[in-house]
Amino acid sequence: MFIPCSGTKTHDALPGVVRRQAAVAEGVQLIEFRMSRGAVIPWHDHVNEQVGMVVSGSIVLTIGKDAMTLGPGDGYVIPSGVEHTVEVLEDSVALDVFSPPRDDYRDLVQ
C-alpha cells in the first residue's frame, strides 16, 4: 500500500503543532509533527511505545528527568508510560512511530 501525502489530512494538535498520519498498520503508526518555534508539547504519557527522529529544526525533549537538545538526524525512544515534554527552539519537523497505534489520533484517518 502507498499513501501519498496529498491523501492525508492534518490536525492542529496544539498551538504551533500540526500532526499528520503518514502511515498506519495493525500494530504501528507513523506521525509527522510540524512544530513552530516557541511551541510546547506539555508533559504527558501514553501506553504506546514511541520512537522518533528530528528531521529538521531543533527541540528540547525531556523524557522523565533527562533532557536533551535534538537536531536533524537525532533519534529518541520513549517507553510506554513515561512522562515527556517538548520545547521547540526553532521551526521543526519530527517523525514519530507509535506502537500500538494511538486511538486518540484516529482523527487523522480520511
CATH number at residue 48: 2.60.120.10
73 domain-assigned: yes
Pick the more confident residue, 100 or 4: 100
The radius of gyration of the chain from alpha carbons, rounded to an integer in Å, stands at 13
pLDDT in tens, 68-86: 999 999 999 999 999 999 9
65 domain-assigned: yes
Q: Cα(89)–Cα(48) distance, rounded to whole angstroms?
A: 26
Total structural domains within the chain: 1
Go through the chain and tell me how many residues it has.
110
Residue 79, domain extent? 12-108
Q: Cα(97)–Cα(52) distance, rounded to whole angstroms?
A: 6
DSSP letter (8 states) at residue 109: -
Residues 6+ apart with CB under 8 A from 43: 83, 84, 85
pLDDT band at 64 (very low <50, low <70, confident <90, very high): very high
60 domain-assigned: yes
Provide the pLDDT for residue 108.
Answer: 59
3 domain-assigned: no
Q: Cα(59)–Cα(96) distance, rounded to whole angstroms?
A: 14
